[in-house]
Amino acid sequence: MKRLWIALVASVALVAVLVAGSGQGAHGIANPAAVYCYKLGYQYEIVDTDKGQYGTCTFFDGSTCDAWRFLECRCGGEYSYCAIHGYDWITKTDGQNPISRDYCVCVLDGEEIGAVTEFVDVEDTCVGPPLDSDADGFLDSFEAYVGTDPWDDCPDDPSDDAWPPDINNDTWVNGLDIMRFKPVLSGPYDVRFDLNADGYVNVLDLMIYKPLLGTSCTNP
Ligand SMILES: [Ca+2]
Ligand SMILES: [Ca+2]
Ligand SMILES: [Ca+2]
Ligand SMILES: [Ca+2]
């Protein structure tokens, strides 16, 4: 049941960007801030200026941060690994992180549970696909965007938003899900239906159903 369409969209081009200039092909030394941005499924770009190059990370809603500031949660904290997975976040400046002097730590119920660089392998020199923790074919960051659970690949009950195309949470992707689009297509924007994350609900979102129709998921 594993579908990878979103995961695969960006990966081919970005791997080339991430390791460009390393001279070591696909196994080069990558910039941790670039890898972090990429592995969360966002768009990393290198910007040339008079003072040199820097990297930016662009999120689904089009907003952008400097990639290193994003890694440190000094910018775009609401798009961070922590936020995507339901945690709070803080930036620590005690120099105790091997990747960057200032670093982002996830916080759950007031307890620090780890730095984002522990959860995301930003030193991965063979850059794999972006994070899809539950392997339901939709990236963690995308699931956070539409409001489904990035840890759960299949709904347990009709209120359990777990698998993005399964709008009615019955474990099947079929016409019943597509019927739910009807009032939304002509009504106010509802992010739950924005399955290509472009800020609109329209026929482009319905396109993603083509390879998925008739498929289902199962709970353990
Ligand atoms: Ca997923
Ligand atoms: Ca999910
Ligand atoms: Ca369904
Ligand atoms: Ca859309």
Residue 172 and residue 108 share a domain: no
Q: Is 175 inside any structural domain?
A: yes
Strand locations in the chain, DSSP E? Answer: 43-49, 52-58, 64-66, 88-92, 103-108, 111-115
For residue 216, is pLDDT > 90?
yes
- What pLDDT is stored for residue 180 in this prediction? 97
Q: Is 215 inside any structural domain?
A: no
**What's the CA gap between 151 and 34, in Å, rounded?**
24
34-48 pLDDT per residue, tens: 999 999 999 999 999
Residue 90 and residue 190 share a domain: no
- What pLDDT is stored for residue 4 in this prediction? 46
Q: pTM here?
A: 0.81
Distance 68 CA to ligand 1 centre (A): 25
- How many residues belong to the chain? 220
Q: Is 218 inside any structural domain?
A: no
Strand partners, 48: 53
Distance 159 CA to ligand 4 centre (A): 22
Say which ligand is closest to the CA of 142.
1
For residue 3, is pLDDT > 60?
no
Q: Is 143 inside any structural domain?
A: no
34-93 pLDDT per residue, tens: 999 999 999 999 999 998 999 999 999 999 999 999 999 999 999 999 999 999 999 999
User: Which residue type sits at 171?
Assistant: T
Distance 147 CA to ligand 4 centre (A): 14
Residue 87 and residue 17 share a domain: yes
**What's the CA gap between 60 and 5, in Å, rounded?**
16
Distance 197 CA to ligand 4 centre (A): 5
Look at residues 101, 119, 137 and tell me which one is the last residue of a structural domain: 119
For residue 27, is pLDDT > 70?
no
Alpha helices in 57-192 (DSSP H): 67-71, 81-84, 116-119, 140-146, 175-179, 181-185
Distance 207 CA to ligand 4 centre (A): 10
140-180 pLDDT per residue, tens: 999 999 999 999 999 999 999 999 999 999 999 999 999 99
Distance 42 CA to ligand 1 centre (A): 15
Say which ligand is closest to the CA of 179.
3
User: Residue 169 sits in which domain range?
Assistant: 154-207
**What's the CA gap between 19 and 30, in Å, rounded?**
5
Say which ligand is closest to the CA of 131.
1
Distance 102 CA to ligand 2 centre (A): 31
Average pLDDT, stretch 83-109?
96
Of the pLDDT bands very low, low, confident and very high (cuts 50, 70, 90), residue 207 is: very high
